[in-house]
């Protein structure tokens, strides 16, 4: 048969604008990169990588949240009408859908906009709301097995998925550091390298409002 496409390996280094999502395919769990590039343009959002409708909506919600974080931090010049945001999820030939890459897209966007690298050993899954709440997703067992196989060390999961850890091999629970979150404010300091405490307190303070 055709060669199996090799999606899942952790990134080789911390990169700006690249975050790792946990995926759940017909054959089990895997990891996907989400890439964000800022380009000169006219304020458009460009989505590529055969993203289905739900994933596209998820990307738009992630962008709304990212914009609110950036504006709360007083950084608006990156979001002028002269910048296009390009979100790509390789491999382009494989269709992808579902809301569970929402928090990953938000992390990749904020990484690109703040110029802070994403920790390569961190993977994540979770749906995002416009206000940055993190909602539960499916396929947790398969996703964690895929994350472990890919060599990730830390996985960020929705708090409401904490109950879905039964049946997981003990080795995986021992070797992966699991971080359960309810809001993106808890995701950014774990996922972004050098996310300054000052920003953390500013983001947290404004999230309460």
> What does the block give as tokens for 43?
């304020």
Angle between helices 53-72 and 197-208 (to 10 degrees): 110
CB distance 58 to 129 below 8 Å: no
CB distance 45 to 36 below 8 Å: no
**Is 100 one of the catalytic residues?**
yes
CB distance 109 to 62 below 8 Å: yes
DSSP code for 159 = G
Residue 190's nearest CA partner among 99, 88, 120, 115 is 120
> What does the block give as tokens for 80?
């002028």
Given 58, 100, 111, 141, the catalytic residue:
100
**Is 71 one of the catalytic residues?**
no
CB distance 63 to 192 below 8 Å: no
> What does the block give as tokens for 91?
């491999």
Cα 52 from chain centroid (whole Å): 17
Question: What is the rounded distance in angstroms from the CA atom of residue 29 to the CA atom of residue 36?
Answer: 23
- Report the 10 Å Cβ neighbour count for 91: 13
Active site positions, annotated: 100, 143
């Amino acid at each position: 048969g055709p060669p199996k496409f090799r999606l899942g390996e952790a990134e080789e280094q911390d990169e700006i604008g690249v975050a790792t999502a946990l995926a759940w395919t017909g054959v089990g769990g895997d990891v996907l990169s989400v890439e964000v590039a800022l380009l000169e343009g006219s304020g458009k959002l460009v989505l590529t990588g055969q993203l289905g409708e739900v994933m596209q909506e998820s990307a738009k919600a992630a962008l709304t949240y990212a914009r609110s974080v950036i504006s709360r931090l007083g950084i608006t010049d990156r979001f002028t009408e002269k910048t296009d945001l390009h979100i790509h999820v390789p491999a382009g030939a494989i269709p992808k859908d579902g809301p569970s890459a929402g928090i990953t897209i938000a992390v990749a966007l904020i990484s690109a906009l703040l110029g802070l690298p994403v920790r390569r050993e961190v993977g994540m899954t979770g749906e995002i709301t416009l206000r940055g709440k993190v909602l539960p997703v499916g396929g947790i067992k398969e996703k964690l097995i895929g994350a472990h196989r890919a060599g990730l060390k830390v996985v960020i999961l929705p708090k409401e998925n904490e109950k879905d850890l039964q049946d997981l091999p003990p080795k995986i629970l021992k070797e992966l550091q699991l971080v359960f979150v309810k809001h993106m404010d808890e995701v950014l300091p774990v996922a972004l390298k050098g996310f300054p405490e000052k920003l953390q307190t500013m983001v947290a303070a404004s999230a309460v409002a």
